[in-house]
Chains A and B, each alone.
Chain A
Amino acid sequence: MNKVLLLTRREISAFFVSPIAYVAIALFLMVSGVFFVWMDFNQGQPAALRASFNVMMIVLVFFLPLLTMRALAEEQKTGTIETLLTAPVTDVQVVVAKFLGSWIFFLVMLAPTLLYVVMLEAFANPDLGPIASGYLGLALLGAAYVAIGLFASSLTRNQIIAAVITVIFLLMLSWPVPYVAQVVPPPWRDIIQSATMLTHYTDFSQGVVDVVHVIYFAAVTVYALFLTVKVLESRRWR
């Protein structure tokens, strides 16, 4: 575990040195800030972040891949993957550390949005319950996005390809598919709906913390990380 912490710390500091990360944070905050002001911070709206949370889900589809694309792709391109994998660390430790590094950085990126809560408090009396559960949902969603991004990054040396693969995966899981679900007959409809992220995410911003949703995100995260470990392991028999 010590090694995981060591690796995670390195991941996080590498983020702070990378200009892409700052650009992604800035853009993310700008876009969600705009939506916050436009939709949630208006007169007559209930004092909640409901719209912001929904928008962030889509925004993150495009921004989180910018953070995760580097994770393994760059190491594979520069060759540092060779020194990494020839050190006495297991593939699991490497993947977990990469995941934690990106996820923690994502949470850091999210932190400034707490400003919105402060602003709401200043002008109204928001119900903090749904807001708290909304952030929980966002954290879990982020975990799943990061894990998928990490998997995509492991498949290639090219960061752009990694980012594009991630966006495609995430879009499929979050956006159009739920709408496809509406036009297909049951039982397909139920199956598709329970597989998509949108379904499991919206409850959080309404203040509902259903164990099923938590399990869904945890499962997606773990599965994507498992696949990533397998990709690294495949080196040993390729």
Chain B
Amino acid sequence: MSAMIEVANLTKWYGPTLALDRASFSVEEGQIVGFLGPNGAGKSTTLRILTGFLPATSGQACIAGHDVLIDSLAVRRSIGYMPENVPLYPEMRVEEYLRFRAGLKEVPGSKRREAVDRAIKRCWLSDVRRRQVGQLSKGYRQRVGLAEALIADPKVLILDEPTIGLDPAQIQSVRELIRSLAGKHTVLLSSHMLHEVELTCSRVVIIAEGRIAAAGTFAELRENLADRARVVLEIHPGDAGEGPAEIARALGQVAGAGEVSHKSVGEGWLRVHVTPSGTADPREALYSVVAQRGWRLREMRSEVPSLEELYVRITAGEAADADRPAA
């Protein structure tokens, strides 16, 4: 049984620039999945390929079993899409615009009024239904975009940064609305804020520099991180007087030690982070070195990197992590 949204080895070149590098992920029916990544990671590109607005350079994407390139019309009938910056026709009134889009999306004439009313109610647009779109504030425009995406009650919703530029109260309303869609609709939304995605979505796909860095539920990701606990030591060279670089080098030579980083924390003390290179626990070996060299030790503990930290590292362009259980 194939997933509602299926992306396989999607690659996109913009001239000499590689925007997407063999990205693969899937979204099952009824899930709300957050597509998370820093700006420029390739989120919008992926969403545009899924909706048929851009062609991929290679790879495949399917929505509801239809290929987005071969069966584009069938795909477009099954989706509601809200592009970033919510482009709208400024001269149309809200309900006029929604009725127009309902018609384009093949909502039967008799049901159109009902569909428009329902979308307006759901997105809290009743106060502005007769107002021209060009006169709306950003928060209202975003809700119009959301209403438009929902208007034909599509199976799949693709939302590009649905809460960008909104104030906290508005963000919360939109978040509630999206969460209410779970089960009946499949939602793929993109964002660059981990916190937002965590509150709204059940699963996340992290993308950076065109590559999928991680995918899974938040619980799964945290579990994976637990395997990569690292050791934190606070050391003082004492009378021996080794420099920080020497200390770091010595610790790095310990069996099982991988990356070593250090930071001075005042009064000669050095905080050293040792990331294990394999699954072995290097703590005992590290302690031996400290004892042998006669350094002073005031702390040694195991630290599990947080999801936030993982995301920050990904955002900073450090090596994308290789854990990718299929979402």
Contact = CB atoms under 8 A, between A and B. Distances in A.
Interface of A: 2-3, 6-7, 10, 13-14, 17-18, 78-83, 85-90, 235-238
Contacts of B104: 3, 6-7, 87-89
A238 B91 contact: no
Contacts of B105: 87-88
Contacts of B85: 79
Interface stretch (B26-34, B47-55, B161-169, B201-209): B47-55
Specify which of B53, B55, B105 lies most central, judged by the most chain A CB atoms within 10 Å of its CB: B53
A104 B69 CA distance: 34
A70 B52 CA distance: 24
15 contacts: A6-B103, A10-B89, A10-B92, A13-B92, A14-B89, A79-B83, A80-B89, A81-B87, A83-B83, A83-B148, A87-B105, A88-B73, A88-B106, A235-B55, A237-B55
Contacts of B148: 83
Interface string B65-84: 00001001100110101010
B175 interface: no
B87 A80 contact: yes
A88 B76 contact: yes
B193 interface: no
A220 B165 CA distance: 47
Contacts of A88: 73, 76-77, 104-106
B87 A2 contact: no
Contact of B100 (A2, A10, A79): A10
Q: Which of the four size classes fits the interface of chain B?
A: 20 to 34
A83 B81 contact: yes
Nearest to B132: A17
Interface in B76-135: 76-77, 79, 81, 83, 85, 87-89, 91-92, 100-101, 103-106
A80 B54 contact: no
B244 to A, nearest CB: 52
Contacts of A10: 89, 92, 100
Contact of B87 (A18, A79, A90, A237): A79
* 5 closest cross-chain pairs (CB), A and B: A79-B87, A17-B91, A88-B76, A86-B51, A80-B87
Interface string B133-169: 0000000000000001000000000000000000000
Contacts of B52: 85-86, 236
Given A79-B83, A79-B87, A80-B89, A87 B101 contact: yes
Specify which of B73, B76, B101, B103 lies most central, judged by the most chain A CB atoms within 10 Å of its CB: B103
A62 B306 CA distance: 65
